[in-house]
Amino acid sequence: MTAVRKTPVVLTSKAAPFAIRAERASDIVAREALLDTCFGEDRHMRTCQRLRDGRAPAEGLALSAVTRGAVVPNSKFALLAAGWERTSNSIRTTADLKSACGDSFGNSPDGACREGGGNCRNATRLVGTVRLWHVGAGGIPALLLGPLAVDSAYRKLGVGAALMDHALAAARARGHRAALLLGDAPYYTRFGFSADKTGELNLPGAFERERLLGLELVAGALDGAWGMIVPTGARLPKPKVARAKKSPRTAAAVA
């Protein structure tokens, strides 16, 4: 069994207007909004989503691209939609925003946010995301990469390529042997993906054969791969549903 090496995620060059880091809980709201924008609100119906539903991403392989030294717009809705955060207090809900900036958005407890000034110290904005997931490729352990999404304003700055490079480097460092994805070959071939060894693999739904691509992180890892690709990652705990307590009279009537 390959030992897991906890390799820190290296930031991009200081000259770049963004950095790559591990995904945080405070990224989730902004990540979901970005995915809706990039893929549409019906993205949950896509074939590969069936391999992700109810599963946790592979450990250490959920990454975010965030801006450096961004200015926060003076609007609670813009803050929530864009996924702004502060180093001392992550903003995920209106309640979080009020805690950070005060009910009037001008009376912050620590003076970090000022109404009219429209800024927030040490603020960053999520502009890209990628995750990898555990799957079985016809019995061969592999990773499924995706979705990869980048804010349209940052697509010509190399955010997508940086996320791919960091994700694949982290996967190799953790001892993973192969990665798969469903995407456009002209883009992903630059990272080493091809359809050379995915011709006998299938997905649990409709897909375009030429878009099912694979990358061997270890030579020969996908030799002889055939059959259905299935999810193998850790299952997420099911949310607990609160049940209303029955009154004694109702309980007696039911009995």
| CA 188 – CA 194 distance, rounded (Å) | 8
Residue ranges of domains in the chain, CATH in brackets? 46-64+127-231 (3.40.630.30)
| CA 154 – CA 208 distance, rounded (Å) | 28
| CA 203 – CA 117 distance, rounded (Å) | 51
Beta bridge partner(s), residue 133: 144
Triad 153, 43, 50: Cα angle to 5°:
135
Q: Does residue 204 have a cis bond before it (omega within 30 degrees)?
A: no
DSSP codes, 129-166: EEEEEEEEETTEEEEEE---EE-GGGTTTTHHHHHHHH
**Per-residue confidence (pLDDT) for residue 63, from 0 to 100:** 98
Q: How many CA atoms lie within 13 A of 90 on its CB side?
A: 11
| CA 197 – CA 212 distance, rounded (Å) | 10
What is the pLDDT tens value at each position of the chain, 255 positions in all?
444 444 444 445 555 689 999 999 999 999 999 999 999 877 887 899 999 999 999 999 999 999 975 444 433 333 333 443 333 334 344 444 334 433 333 333 333 333 233 444 456 899 999 999 999 999 999 999 999 999 999 989 999 999 999 999 999 999 999 999 999 999 999 999 999 999 999 999 999 999 999 999 999 999 999 999 999 999 999 877 666 565 555 434 444
